[in-house]
Amino acid sequence: MGIMTIGGVMKKKINVLGLDLDNYSVRESISMIDAYLNDKIMHVVGIVFMDLLILAGEDVKVKESIENLDMKIIGDKEILAVAGITRGFRVRETVENEFVIRFLEKLSHKKCTIFILCNTEEECQLFEKYLVQKFPSCIVAASYDIEKCKNDYDVVVNEINIIEPDVVFAALDSPARESFILEQKSKINARLWFELGRNIRTILTTKKVSVWFKDFINRGIFHRVVSKYKNEEK
């Protein structure tokens, strides 16, 4: 089966495990990002992977945080497959991680200021190194590792607001991830909050076998969760 369409037009929203996810092409998504960067309010965009959908079925806050994203980018081809999309350009774009690459190229071209927010200092340093090497025109204004704040998220918000960056790149684990999307959003002075999710592991790890193995495990769990969900829906 190819691209899911309605009357020959590609379906822009697909429902997976009770959550509506965006199925825009990369070109359409980047056009929306342009609009977000010119808006007066901060928008929140995130990449949704299998592991996050699995967690959403177990934790209502995780599910709510996904629902509150202004744009929900699909990060795994297996998610597309649940909606009947198994080939075509949307699968290629997803497998090749094309959205993140085009997004970073856009920020580099516009010379946007970036604030990096990760779980650890090592992740912050490695991600900044990656950006400087791959997208040298991106301006990394500051970075912060969530370990420093000891769950006092107001400290993090203050650090971000001192900079007032164009984009906050966040790669946080639960529950910090959900707290920022659900509770801290209105306090933050930035144009765009971008939740990298599992991409940070893919970018930073040198142990590709480890990443592959985790993905393999997640695929098995995800398929079981989807099968259970479909049976309960009958």
Write out pLDDT tens, residues 142-195: 999 998 988 899 999 999 999 999 999 999 888 888 988 888 999 999 999 999
Q: Is 33 exposed, middle or buried (0-12, 13-18, 19+ CB in 10 A)?
A: buried
pTM value surpassing 0.85: yes
Decide: 73 and 93 in contact? Cβ < 8 Å.
no
Q: How far apart are CA 24 and CA 29, in angstroms?
A: 6
Write out pLDDT tens, residues 77-117: 999 999 899 889 999 999 888 999 999 999 999 999 999 99
Write out pLDDT tens, residues 22-46: 999 999 999 999 999 999 899 999 9
Decide: 142 and 193 in contact? Cβ < 8 Å.
no
Q: Where are the beta strands (DSSP E) in the chain?
A: 5-6, 9-10, 13-16, 19-22, 43-48, 71-74, 113-118, 139-145, 167-171, 192-195
Residue 165: which of 116, 103, 123 has the closest Cα? 116
Q: How far apart are CA 104 and CA 140, in angstroms?
A: 12
Q: How far apart are CA 149 and CA 184, in angstroms?
A: 14
